[in-house]
Amino acid sequence: MPVHDLGYRSWGGVVRGSVSRVLAIAETGCRLALKSTWVKRILLFAWMPILFWGSGLYFAEQTLQESTSSLLERSSAERAMQEIGREIRGEVLPLAVANELDFMPGSAALAAALQDADSNETRRVVWRWLLMTYFRYPQAAAMIFLLGFVAPGLVSRDFRSRAFLLYFSRPIGRLEYVLGKLLIPAIFLTFISTLPALALYVTGLFLSPDLTVIALTWDVPFRVILATLVLVIPTASLAIALSSLTQESRFASFAWFAVWMLGQGAWFAVLLSQAINMDSEPDHILEMGGMKGWSPLSLYMALGEVQNWVFGFDELKNVWPSLLVLVVLSMVSLAVFWRRIGRSIHS
Amino acid sequence: MQPLITLSGITKRFGAHLALRDVDLEIGSGVTGLLGPNGAGKSTLIKLLLGLVRSTSGSGTVLGQPLGRKNGRWIRSRIGYVPEDDCYIPGLTGVEVVRFSATLSGMDPVEGLRRAHEILDFCGMKEDRYRAIEGYSTGMRQKVKFAAALVHDPDLLILDEPTSGLDPEERDALLSRVRILARRHGKSVLLSTHILPDVQSVCDHVIILANGQVRLNQSLEVINRPVADVISVQMDSGIGDFVPALKALGYQAFVDDTGKVGIRSGDAALHESIWQVARETGAVVHTISPAKNSLESVFLKSIEEQADART
């Protein structure tokens, strides 16, 4: 005989609101995604670049502080280091940035800031540039792989296993389902982009000479959050919409990677054709800004351009076509997702 | 006492297909069986009650709340639904599915887990609750679906073919749980099924739906009541001569679907006449009893009416 009552018992506890239901959907989705070893690996690797960018920040801070500290307080060895620091900051780095990183956005502003005598202004630009490149290069790539593994199954799996009835026979509506599902990629992307970027910012604060740096760089965390939104909203919407179009996760996965590869391929084809037409190197075309108008062709480039604007390395008048593409893509994707869910419920 | 569900003139059209036509219905508390052939409109009716589809016309209330999307959430928070189809989230264990259902109903996750274990105990699910649901047998999945529907302690349970695919032992156990919930815990149950013995076993009331229309809405007690003025005679032999001989004496005699002879008469001398005719025709009478409507005959009659309506 069981030691406890196995009969039915009534329940009269507190029932929570809609937010708890959204969180329940997101929590279950995250838990299921984390059962994949590949997802765990990608999450781990996505945090690796922070070490490299952290080193860059450390190096930048050392250079800034060495080049600006008082000569009188230093020993001869320290003075020699200081001289080297000044030389690196004033000559070597600007030259290196101008020559070697000229294909990267914001490199001209960075080179100019490095030559600026005002180290606070230099610090602001360097931090923003490091964070912008962090979002634009390693984290954008990590995002593509991570969502390629996490998102395709989020809705298609519910279609395949007819889990809709499990959701919609409960007191939840379409909005809670959509928000819950969107929250899953958003949580993963926040984990691999916002958290490390904010950690990088805090590291910068610890490395800086005093806390007045917070007053100078207060905008950086907000830019990081805005950059996260730019990264999350269009990509999560697209990934979820693709997932809702099929019952087979692999088709959604294929479509997801195809969108990025085809877009980037088309952009690259235009770059090559321009280089051939102008009898020039592709790097030179990029330096001259010859591909500006073509960025909306590639989702990756469009995201990058808007990230440049978010971190203050470009103006809105230059990036609005890319911004428009991202807004339209998000809206269309959400509309498709909304409609597909509606059909499933009411059919 | 206010009925649990009232529907008035409900019509639901999917394009050219009329799934429900002018349905008027009142369902009270207790266990109600919803019977009907495939395509009768049972699933549409259930979705309508859950607020998942909107009626083309008509109105109604569920648990005192008007039907429609506005009250859909409230209604669903008081209903536990066991769908006919297998619906689960791959990768979750049985207890995780039930806990997830609890949190979707607004329970705190920790409380939801505690409650999930409690309900799985009630449903007879043992250590298998920790296994991934994809590896479950049909019976185990039915238990998990049943537990998920019950976890938030609903007032009304809607069970869509809950015993399909179950072996006799599991079927009896599930029906016994339904009986316990209804009799001891005051839950109301709407049981949609094809299996008539299930309805006979647990239901107080029966609704037969055919071709989108309500054909019968009656308590099982009334259905099982002896039919007034009809005597049922079971014959061992000689039925061919027996029925015409009775008719010759002026009785309304007929052979029913079960092979028994039904005789409609208020005549006090009927019994004597039966024995006399049997003697004269050499027929062997096995039993004479008051005629009863069986659920099966009532159901078949409704289906025939549907077929007639189609032709």
Instruction: Among A20, A35, A345, select the one facing B103 at the smallest CB separation.
Output: A20
- Predicted local confidence at residue B293, as pLDDT: 72
Under a CB-based contact definition with an 8 Å cutoff, are residues A164 and A344 in contact? yes
**pLDDT tens, chain B, 311 aa long:** 568 899 999 999 988 888 899 999 999 889 999 998 888 888 889 989 988 888 899 999 999 899 877 788 899 999 999 998 888 888 899 999 999 999 999 999 999 999 999 999 999 898 999 999 989 998 899 999 999 999 999 999 999 989 888 888 999 999 999 999 999 999 999 999 888 889 988 999 999 998 888 888 888 888 877 776 788 888 888 888 888 888 888 888 888 777 888 887 777 788 888 888 889 888 898 888 887 777 777 777 777 765 565 55
- Predicted local confidence at residue B246, as pLDDT: 86
Residue A278 has pLDDT above 70, yes or no: yes
Cβ separation A166–B52 shorter than 8 A: no
- Interchain contact B84–A (C-beta under 8 A): no
Top-confidence residue, A3 or A281: A281
- Predicted local confidence at residue A209, as pLDDT: 79
- In chain B, residues with a C-beta closer than 8 Å to the C-beta of A4 are 121
Give per-residue pLDDT as tens, A50-65.
Answer: 998 888 888 888 777 7
| Ranges A32-41, A94-103, A141-150: which has the least confidence | A94-103
Tell me the count of A-B CB pairs closer than 8 A: 113
The rounded distance, in Å, linking the Cα atoms of A182 and A187 is 9
- Predicted local confidence at residue B114, as pLDDT: 94
Those of residues 24-53 in B touching chain A at CB distance below 8 A are: 50, 52-53
- Interchain contact B17–A (C-beta under 8 A): no
- Interchain contact A346–B (C-beta under 8 A): yes
- For chain A, domain boundaries: 15-49+135-346
- Interchain contact B77–A (C-beta under 8 A): yes
**How do strand B31-35 and strand B226-237 relate by DSSP bridges?**
unpaired
Residue A1 has pLDDT above 50, yes or no: no
At B137 the three-state DSSP class reads coil
- In chain A, residues with a C-beta closer than 8 Å to the C-beta of B107 are 13, 15-16
For the packed helices A219-244 and A119-134, what is the interaxial angle rounded to 10 degrees?
10
- In chain A, residues with a C-beta closer than 8 Å to the C-beta of B86 are 161-162
Split at pLDDT 50, 70, 90, the class of A67 is low
Instruction: Among A165, A170, A172, select the one facing B85 at the smallest CB separation.
Output: A165
Sign of the Cα pseudo-torsion (A279, A284, A287, A293, in order): positive
Under a CB-based contact definition with an 8 Å cutoff, are residues B68 and B51 in contact? yes
- In chain B, residues with a C-beta closer than 8 Å to the C-beta of A172 are 73, 104
- Tokens at A133, concatenated: 């490149």
Instruction: Among A6, A14, A25, select the one facing B122 at the smallest CB separation.
Output: A6
- Interchain contact B180–A (C-beta under 8 A): yes
Top-confidence residue, A78 or A268: A268
Work out the burial of residue A255: count CB atoms within 10 Å of its CB; fewer than 13 is exposed, 13-18 middle, 19 or more buried.
Answer: middle
- Predicted local confidence at residue B238, as pLDDT: 84
Split at pLDDT 50, 70, 90, the class of A328 is very high
Instruction: Tell me chain B's radius of gyration from C-alpha atoms.
Output: 24
Within a 10 A sphere around the Cβ of A193, how many other Cβ atoms? 24
Residue A308 has pLDDT above 50, yes or no: yes
Split at pLDDT 50, 70, 90, the class of A337 is very high
- In chain A, residues with a C-beta closer than 8 Å to the C-beta of B85 are 162, 165
Residue A66 has pLDDT above 70, yes or no: no
Q: What is the mean pLDDT of chain A?
A: 86
